[in-house]
Amino acid sequence: MKHAFRLGLLVTLALILSACGVSGAQHQQAQAKGRPLPAYERAVLPAGQYYTTEFEPSLSFRIAGDDWRFDGPSTALGDPEHPDYLFDETSDLDAEIAFFNLRKLQGIQKPRGPAGETEPVPAPDELFGWFRRHPYLETSKLEPVTVGGVKGVQFDVVTDLPKLSDKTGVDTFKLSTGGFAGIYYLKKERFIVLKDVKGVPVVIQYGQEKDEIDEFVPMAKKVLKSIEWTGS
């Protein structure tokens, strides 16, 4: 009986230790994955690892410092994260990083008049060419870039002020919420185009409110360097 009791006790202890090991491994995986992005706008994001829950393809990224917040465009309605777009902002620098799924957007805003009016059309396969031919935008040269192991290209875009003297900027993407993403006066925006992220074309846009993008670039690059594409 004593031997049976000892054997039972050893088996029980082994099961407890095994369960603790699984729990510890799961905890480590959860820590590595980070935390989900908040479900409300203007939420402060403490330093750490985050992952998306709605944007497609899903991704995780790391931010440093406590001056980031999760936000949406001023014209958007509802939650700040959607399958077609995702916005993160820094309160100190008035800067922003945005992600767009070209297949999920309602369209890209095609110019249709001298006053800067636009209309949504399907996103073209060659997005850089569309920006380069845009009558109200000027683009820089293409440069190669890699984000999360996916190769793409990047270029800078600014508004052509003489042609848009009576406008505040140019709408570029029409969002699923009915709002728009755009480029505004006196701002240089950097675009990264990744044609195939898990089979999806993704655009990353970042810039700074006061047209001091060079100040924001190092911070943005740290975030982009930490990106892992987790969607299928």
pLDDT tens digits, one per residue of 157-185: 988 766 665 667 788 888 888 888 888 76
What ranges do the domains of the chain cover? 1-33, 36-229
Percent of the chain clearing pLDDT 70 (strictly above): 70
Mention every residue, 6+ apart, whose C-beta is less than 8 A from residue 222: 62, 64
Q: Are strands 137-139 and 180-184 parallel, antiparallel or unpaired?
A: unpaired
pLDDT digits (tens, 9 = 90+) for 128-149: 999 998 888 889 999 999 999 9
pTM of the shown model: 0.79
Q: How far is CA 201 from CA 77, 82, 195, 204, 213, in A?
A: 24, 16, 4, 10, 24
Cis peptide bond upstream of 36, omega within 30: no
pLDDT digits (tens, 9 = 90+) for 57-87: 999 999 887 678 877 554 444 556 788 888 8
Is 151's pLDDT higher than 90?
yes
Nearest to 120 by CA among 110, 129, 135, 111: 110
Topology of domain 36-229, CATH: Protein Transport Mog1p; Chain A (3.40.1000)
**First-to-last CA distance in the chain?**
55
The per-residue pLDDT for 191 is 96
